[in-house]
Structure 1
Amino acid sequence: MTPKPFTSEERWSEAQSDREEMFADQEPVTRPLTLSEAFARALKYNLDGRVKAMEQALAVNDLDLSRYDLLPKLAIDGLGSTRNRFDASSSESIQTRQQSLVPSTSSDLNRFTGDLTLSWNILDFGVSYFAARQEADRVLIAQEERRKAVQTLLQDVRRAYWRAAAAQRLTNEVKAAIRAAEDALPAARKVETEGLKSPIDSLRYQKALLDAIRQLETNEQALAISKDELASLINLPPGEHYSIAVPNEGSMRLEPMKIPVGQMESTALVLNPDIRGLSYEARISVAETKKALLKLLPGISLSADPNVDSNSFLVHHYWVAGAARVNGYLSNLLTAPLVIPQRENAEKLAVLKRQAMSMAILAKLHIAYQQYFASIKEYDRVKQLSSVDQRLYTQIANRTATDVQGDLERILAQASAVDSKLRLFQSYAEAQEALGRLYATVGVDFLHQDVETLSVAELGNAIRQTSFDLAPKPAALSEQAGEPALMDTDVQGAASPTGAVAHAEGSISVAQFQQLDNQ
């Protein structure tokens, strides 16, 4: 066997097929994209999300297969044989060394034998039972991994959406400011060469213009890739044109968090997918301990097998045989003192990992909590600064520019106004990113059970109707402690975040999404 690489033609064909399948069966974007619709498209079409969904389905398949290991083993065997001479033999006396029996046979030349064996090993059943329990927990771990992937995806979409919104709103203004600054450079250089101003003042004018151009070009480059980032998250083909439903600045509000951080800590310790996944890992470790202890015991196997034999010399051609067997390894007596503490330490390690993750999640929660409050203050301050810059530019632009210095002042005011507006969108996007981190850290999410069947509009509407509770009541927490209710639906048909009950008091509701979408 020798390595056989793909040919260029095979790779070309495969690449073309992949490209077609990557964007197949997707609804086209026919109207400006809202945040909830961006969420819906990410849930339906993002390829990383599809990978996690397929991994979850594969884990379910593994669980289904492991259940069959609990059944008794049933084996069928059939043998047809023939020979050209009889299977004959004679006997010899061990005392006289004389032949005591003439050559004889008890087997036909042509013969068929068959049996159906049913066997059940009690030890194997116990081991298979705990193995199946482990596979069931791995299904739940796959669900938690999918939850985490969805939370991370929606967090990325939230950040990319507002950056793309800034790009759509401000790209033309940034380009206009760059053109105005570049057009003013020749006049500034002329002032220097003709000595109309002092050399220091002339160079300061040029430096101010170049600094403004550099800053604007940096912003332009950042804006240029923003819509491509969002397109990749919602699985739009690269370069495809689409527009964002950008709200006006007046409707971009940030609500302060009214939920005590202590309540969110309790919620995060229950709902965070990383912690829940390690809880299932700890349960897998306990099952592994039970498997290890079972393997130290002697095995008891029971079997029953009906047989058939066509040999004409037999008195009975059909019969049933049964057996009971006990077997074990004496070496287990030596390894038992080592296996037991080894498994106990493995269980303790699993618990410590969960506790370490819990500590990390609590720290991450406090950081996200503080970042959100800091981002609100930053947004309010930038909003005030942007308003001042806009009014200042209006006042300067309305004045009659009579010299180069006045023209420079107008251009710098224009650049400053555009930069302030850009920072306004950026600070709003950072606040939304902090809010997304808060959602993801606490563990609330959205994963509708009908993601594949609902249209983008229907799924987006379901998202807008969802309440995200960052501090469910203790009763709600205890109800979900058993299973990760990933796809539980409420009476409105929209999936509650991880099965959590949305309460009027102490929760962040759909109104926040409606404000973001400007609907």
Structure 2
Amino acid sequence: MQLSRPFALRLGAVAVLAACLSACAPLQPERISLKALAQTTEEDRAAVRAEVPPLGERLTLDEAIARALKFNVDRRARQMEETFELRQFELVGYDQLPKLLASAGYTARDSDRLVRSVDSVTGTPLSYSNPALSQSRAHMVNSLTLSWSLLDYGLARYNAEQAGDRLLAATERRRKATHLLVQDVRIAYFRAASAQLLRDKVAAALRLADEALADSRKAEGENLRAPLDGLRYQRQLTENMRLLEAIQQELSTARFELAQLMNAPITAETTLAADELPAGADPLATPAEAMEDTALAQNPDLREQMYQRRIAAIEARKVVARAYPNLSFSLGTTHDSDRYLVNPTWTEVGAQFGTNLFNLLSLPAQKRGAAAAIQLADERRLAAHVAVIAQVHIAREQLAGTRRQFERAESLWQLDQRILEQTRLREEARAGSKLDRVAAETTAIVSQLRRFQALAQWHAAISRLQSTLGVDAMPDSADDLSLDALRAEVRSRLLGV
């Protein structure tokens, strides 16, 4: 059965209405299936370890920093932020081009478009009584139009400048994140190294304490010594054991933190060089005034605020530009399949000049807002300026203090090692007790731990000073460098080797 055209059009309208109503129906959230979750997890595990070489038998500080700079996942995310801003900068450039609009449309109606004419003066119908047919019931219109707006072009230029400044600001944020990553690696490295070196010593001291505690309880049961002396002896042993177990607990997670920073397998075992003292020239030999000048020229926080100020200044110019009248030009060709047209294809050229008068009403308020944004950016830049100068002097004092603390911790550790040797000799000569040896072992272990902690803080203080001065650990990108080349850059730029 063949449907009439009016009925077919009404049926099509009903179908379109039904589709619209079904599209407006609320969607139910769909949980990720266990299969999809497992597949994504497996893909992520492979992506995380992709192109990451395995650890060798020995891991030095420069290699740990280089691995973190090249393979750390958080740093990759920071780098992708910079890449995103770069793509935005490239995309904004296309807004300056003219617009070329191609369109095609189909129109159908269920009745003819009939018109009657009347006399424009008298208002009476013209002589013929039958209405005129002026348009096909169904016809298609195709057009290709090239247009260019002077105002849009100017705003696109401003947007491109702002996108460029946002890209440079993202670069400074990436630099800052890199500096913080280097600090974290240096601290985690020496914590892991101390844990590795002290692990066997702590275990041996705990075994010795357990033996001494068992002997004391046996002597207490046999009434071989005064009860109060035995309890005091056991309490001191237990206190030493508690301290040793606290050290063991504190250091147990260090290698996992270092592995996370380097994006290395969590369970990987490697030997760490535990006594890597800072090398190179003394940073404090450089005068504070020279350090201030370097920091003010290279500090990433201050540079970012400068770029933010430029973005605010361009935004103020955009506010004024939007108030200008717009001049636009267009050139296009159109084809209409309407069989009643005498000229179904034609070309149009146009020029338009206009403005939104209501923009002029809000222009003073927009200018005040833009000026306030510039003033805010200036204040933030000045605050960063003052903070950078203060950070230079704070970092210098921290570096001097941590170096003195390491020297003091080194002396205490040497003294406790000598005391431990004397205690062992006394025990072998039956002139000392296991309690004395356990106490001496515990004190020596704590002193060695404090020495490593002081060494880590010394390295961290150097890293904070380098971060304040804007000293980069590598060139702009680590992707183009091999791991060995990146290690060489780290040794030269950060470790002074």
Please name the residue that 1:10 is paired with: 36
Q: What is the letter of the counterpart of residue 236 of structure 2? A: A
Find 2:399's aligned residue among 369, 372, 390: 372
Cα drift, residue 189 of structure 1: 3.6
Q: Which residue of 2 aligns with 1:284?
A: 311
Question: For the residues of structure 1 that align with 2:69 and 2:404, how far apart are their CA atoms?
Answer: 32
Q: What are the residue-to-residue correspondences of 1:469-480 with 2, within 5 Å?
A: none
The 8 Å contact of residues 158 and 433 in structure 1, kept in 2 or not, is answered as yes
Give yes or no for the alignment of 1:431 onto 2:417. no
Larger Rg: 2
Equivalent position of 1:53 in the other structure: 79
Counterpart of 2:54 in structure 1 is 28
Correspondence for 1:360: 387
Deviations 1:238-288 (A, max 9, x none): 22223323348xx67795621222322222222222221121111111111
Q: 1:121-180, CA deviations, whole angstroms, 9 ceiling, x for partnerless residues?
A: 211211121111111111112111111111111110111111111111121111111211
**Are 2:384 and 1:347 aligned?**
no
Contact residue 141 and residue 277 of structure 1 kept, 8 A? yes
- 2:208 aligned partner: 180
1:238 corresponds, among 266, 278, 286, to: 266
Classify the secondary structure of the residue corresponding to 1:301: strand
Q: Distance in 1 between matches of 2:222 and 2:298?
A: 71
SS of 1:116's partner is strand
Task: Give a deviation string over 1:282-310, Cα, whole Å, max 9, x none.
Answer: 11111111111111222222222234456
Query: Residue type matched to 1:338 in 2?
Result: A
Match of 2:449 among 412, 418, 422: 422
Q: Report the equivalent of 1:328.
A: 355
Q: 1:253 to 1:397 in 2, by over 3 A?
A: farther
Distance in 1, Cα, partners of 2:123 & 2:477: 89
1:410 and 1:402 map into 2 onto residues whose CA distance is 13
Letter matched to residue 45 of structure 2: R
Q: Which residue in the other structure is 2:190 paired with?
A: 162
Which residue of structure 1 aligns with residue 20 of structure 2?
none
Residues 382 and 423, structure 1, Cα contact 8 Å, conserved in 2: yes
Q: Summarize the alignment of residues 211-250 of structure 1 with structure 2, pairs less than 5 Å apart.
A: 211-247=239-275
Q: Contact 1:93/1:100 (CA < 8 Å) preserved in 2?
A: no
Cα RMSD (Å): 2.7
Q: Structure 1 residues 252, 138: CA separation in 2 closer, same or farther (over 3 Å shift)?
A: closer
Corresponding position: 1:210 with 2:196? no
Specify the code of the residue in structure 2 equivalent to 1:236. Answer: A
Secondary structure of 1:91's counterpart equals coil
Q: Is the 1:163–1:429 Cα contact (8 Å) retained in structure 2?
A: yes
Measure how far apart 1:87 and its partner are.
5.2
CA offsets 1:357-385 (integer angstroms, 9 cap, x no match): 33333333333221211111111111111
Residue 199 of structure 2 is matched in structure 1 by 171
**Structure 1 residues 393 and 82, CA gap change in structure 2 (3 angstroms):** closer
Q: For the structure 1 residues 105 and 258, does the alpha-carbon distance in structure 2 shift closer, same or farther, using more than 3 Å as the test? A: same
Alignment partners' CA distance in 2, 1:130 and 1:361: 30
Q: What are the equivalent positions in structure 2 for 1:27-176 lying under 5 Å apart? A: 27-79=53-105, 89-94=115-120, 95=122, 97-101=124-128, 103-104=131-132, 113-176=141-204
CA 1:338–1:252: 2 relative to 1, 3 Å: closer
Q: Matched residues in 2 for 1:298 and 1:278: separation?
A: 33
Q: Which moved more, 1:285-294 or 1:349-358?
A: 349-358
Deviation of the 1:48 alpha carbon: 0.3
Question: Is the CA contact 1:92–1:100 (under 8 Å) kept in the aligned structure 2?
Answer: no
Q: Retained in 1: the 8 A contact 2:96–2:157?
A: yes
Q: Secondary structure at the match of 1:4?
A: coil
| 1:448 counterpart SS class | coil
- Corresponding position: 1:451 with 2:478: yes
1:96 & 1:160 partners in 2: Cα distance?
94
Q: Which runs of 5+ in 1 are unaligned?
A: 469-508, 512-519
Deviation track 1:439-468 (CA, whole Å, cap 9, x = no partner) reads 22222122335523443233213322x335
Deviation for aligned residue 1:68: 0.9
TM-score by length of 2: 0.86
Mean Cα displacement is larger for which, 396-405 or 101-110?
101-110
Match for 1:164: what amino acid?
A
Query: CA separation in 2, counterparts of 1:345 and 1:208?
Result: 66
Supply the distance in 2 between the matched residues of 1:407 and 1:312 (Cα, whole angstroms). 113
Give the AA of the match of 1:50.
R
Q: C-alpha distance in 2, partners of 1:204/1:106?
A: 114
Distance 2:432 2:224 in 1: 11
Letter in 2 for 1:413: A
Q: Counterpart of 1:517?
A: none
Flag the 1:218–1:82 CA change in 2: closer, same or farther, 3 A: closer
Q: How far off its partner does 1:436 sit?
A: 1.5
Are the aligned partners of 1:390 and 1:417 in contact in 2 as well (CA < 8 Å)?
yes
Q: Are the structure 2 counterparts of residues 400 and 15 from structure 1 closer, same or farther at C-alpha, using a change threshold of 3 Å?
A: closer
How far does residue 49 in structure 1 lie from its aligned partner after superposition? 0.8
Gaps of 5+ in 2: 1-26
Corresponding residue to 1:442 among 466, 469, 484: 469
Aligned residues of 1:299 and 1:327 also touching (Cα < 8 A):
yes
Give the Cα–Cα distance (whole angstroms) in 1 for the partners of residues 109 and 222 of structure 2: 119
Which SS does the other structure have where 1:100 is aligned?
Answer: coil
Partner of residue 506, structure 1: none
**Given the superposition, is the C-alpha separation of residues 33 and 39 from structure 1 closer, same or farther in structure 2, using an over 3 Å criterion?**
same
Structure 1 counterpart SS, 2:272:
coil
Matches of 1:252 and 1:336, distance apart in 2: 59
Which residue is equivalent to 1:399? 426
Secondary structure of the 2:64 match is helix
SS in 1 for 2:351: strand
Structure 1 residue 398: Cα displacement: 2.4
* C-alpha distance in 2 between matches for 1:53 and 1:328: 42
Whether the 8 Å contact between 2:279 and 2:496 is mirrored in structure 1 is no
- TM-score with structure 1 length normalisation? 0.82
Inter-CA distance 192–368: structure 2 relative to 1 (3 Å threshold): farther
- Deviation digits for residues 32-60 of structure 1 (CA, Å, limit 9, x no counterpart): 11111111211121110111111111111
CA 99–358 in structure 1, closer or farther in 2 if over 3 Å, else same: same
User: Matched residue pairs, number?
Assistant: 468
CA contact (8 A) 2:143 2:335 kept: yes
Deviation digits for residues 160-209 of structure 1, max 9, x if unmatched? 11111111112111111121122111233445555555555444433332
Kindly indicate whether the alpha-carbon contact (under 8 Å) linking 2:472 and 2:493 is maintained by their aligned counterparts in 1.
Answer: no
Determine if contact 2:427/2:434 at 8 Å carries over to the other structure: no
Q: Does 1:273 align with 2:300?
A: yes
